[in-house]
């Protein structure tokens, strides 16, 4: 039989469980894989107390891992966009004077066309906004670029933590996501758009989901309950793997 990645064999210290997970073949001892149920000839991958046996991801854990990794990819994409924005601001900072000169020089050339369209450039909010951007100081633009760069770095750390399925990554993702929720609420209070509503709902759902499923910050019994559940799963997995009427051939 073939596993999704590799076989997971384990030799418990408890004699009864140990013997029930092992068969003897002409090629030597074979140990039952806790993931696929097949028998693998050779030394077990690990050994120790039953409570320390590995628990291969199945069912809910596979689903949770998939969701976290999809979130990691979303963070990676967001980080790349923010990094691109930081680069654009940095480039704009260095070329602002040239852009302002080109804007002031070419704007009058658009006046005849604008008059034909009934568009008064002097009263245009777009023109005023561009002029405002061109008057922002280089030091302010530098700060904006650095803030965007730091934001991209946060997204990169979130991506790494969630992709690796580490507990510190789950904590970091929750804290980082929750930190921006007040700003999203403020933006939504200023102006309601579907994108802002969906962004807020999505990020709140992410925080609630990770805290609830991973029992972070003491939720649902906290880390102790989470580890106790995993320890219980280890024993259950070992008993289920050993509880069989017929033993298949070695894999």
* Statement: residue 85 has pLDDT above 60: yes
Taking the model in full, what pTM does it have? 0.63
Q: What is the pLDDT of residues 6-55, one digit of tens each?
A: 777 888 877 777 777 788 888 888 887 777 677 888 888 888 887 677 76
> What values do phi and psi take at 24, rounded to 5?
-105, 130
* Statement: residue 182 has pLDDT above 80: yes
Q: Domain spans of the chain?
A: 1-56, 72-165, 170-233
């Amino acid at each position: 039989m073939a596993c999704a990645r590799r076989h997971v064999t384990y030799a418990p210290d408890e004699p009864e469980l140990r013997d029930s997970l092992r068969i003897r073949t002409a090629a030597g001892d074979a140990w039952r894989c806790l993931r696929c149920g097949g028998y693998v000839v050779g030394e077990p991958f690990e050994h120790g107390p039953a409570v320390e046996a590995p628990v291969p991801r199945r069912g809910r854990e596979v689903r949770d891992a998939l969701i976290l990794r999809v979130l990691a990819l979303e963070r990676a994409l967001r980080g790349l966009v923010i990094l691109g924005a930081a680069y654009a601001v940095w480039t704009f900072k260095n070329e602002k004077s040239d852009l302002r000169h080109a804007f002031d020089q070419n704007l009058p050339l658009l006046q005849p066309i604008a008059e034909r369209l009934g568009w008064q450039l002097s009263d245009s909010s777009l023109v005023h906004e561009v002029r405002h951007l061109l008057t922002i100081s280089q030091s302010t633009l530098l700060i904006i670029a650095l803030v965007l760069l730091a934001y991209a770095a946060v997204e990169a750390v979130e991506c790494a933590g969630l992709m690796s399925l580490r507990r510190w990554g789950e904590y970091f993702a929750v804290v980082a996501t929750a930190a921006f929720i007040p700003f999203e609420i403020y933006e939504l209070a200023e102006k309601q758009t579907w994108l802002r509503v969906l962004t807020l709902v999505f990020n709140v759902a992410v925080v609630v989901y990770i805290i609830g499923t991973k029992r972070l910050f003491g939720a649902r019994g906290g880390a102790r309950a989470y580890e106790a559940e995993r320890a219980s799963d280890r024993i259950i997995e070992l008993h289920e793997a050993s509880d069989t009427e017929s033993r298949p051939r070695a894999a």
